[in-house]
Amino acid sequence: MSPKPKPANDKPVADATETKQPVVRRTVFDLDSFDEIVIERPYTPEPAPTSIEDALARLGNSQARLLQIVSDGLKAEQEKSLSKLRGSDGTLDLSQWTVKDEDTGVRVPYTGVPCDPKKVKLMVATIAKMAHGFSRDLTPEQRKAAKDAAKQDILTSEPMRRGLARNSAVTDEEESEE
């Protein structure tokens, strides 16, 4: 029997002697523990190729595979560049962003105010506790009502909205951590 796996929501604790080695992670359902777990497969990255010929040789001299890998890399670079919310001057630039209209399914320009969802949830939880009596002792319906009331407080208070927009703005650095 293998060692007891860590549940999927637990972060593995690094051994003090362990070196930083990249791993491939997969979430699977383990029948022994009857829980979702994260399994890891450590690997040693291959050194960067020193020439096109070297890259081709690693791919069994398949130009089609090499071109597909280059194409995938270029697409990933383009998506990374396009995912930025700020222009080269550092200002928020949402001019090219759209959302799908829920009723019609048509893409329309995004005109909202993007914020970090973690910071917004934290503010909702704080207001729900302070102003609406949220606690773990409440029923699920009462907890939901307290959170909904806190959300409504934020939506209807211009000073709170401005504060959230200023203090929890989405940054490109947070997005790139994924």
Share of the chain above pLDDT 90, in %: 52
In angstroms, the CA 102 to CA 85 distance is 23
pLDDT at 149: 96
Whether the pLDDT of residue 33 is over 80: the answer is yes
Are 31 and 2 contacting, i.e. CB atoms less than 8 angstroms apart? no
The string of DSSP codes covering 23-47 is EEEEEEEETTTTEEEEEEEE--PPP
| Closest C-alpha to 43, from 66, 25, 17, 30 | 25
Query: Which residue would you say has higher pLDDT here, 4 or 51?
Result: 51
- Predicted confidence (pLDDT) per residue in 73-124, tens digit: 999 999 988 888 877 787 778 888 899 988 998 999 888 888 888 889 999 9
- Which residue in 161, 157, 136, 156 sits closest to 146, CA to CA? 136
Mean of the pLDDT values across residues 32-46? 90
Alpha carbons within 13 A on the beta-carbon side of 161? 11
Which runs of consecutive H residues, i.e. helices, occur in the chain?
52-58, 63-82, 117-132, 140-156, 158-167, 172-176
Distance CA 33, CA 152 (A): 42
Identify the weakest region by mean pLDDT among 102-106, 123-127, 137-141, 169-173.
Answer: 169-173
Tokens 């007891």 label which residue?
4
**Average pLDDT over every residue of 128-147:** 95
Contact 165, 94 (CB under 8 A): no
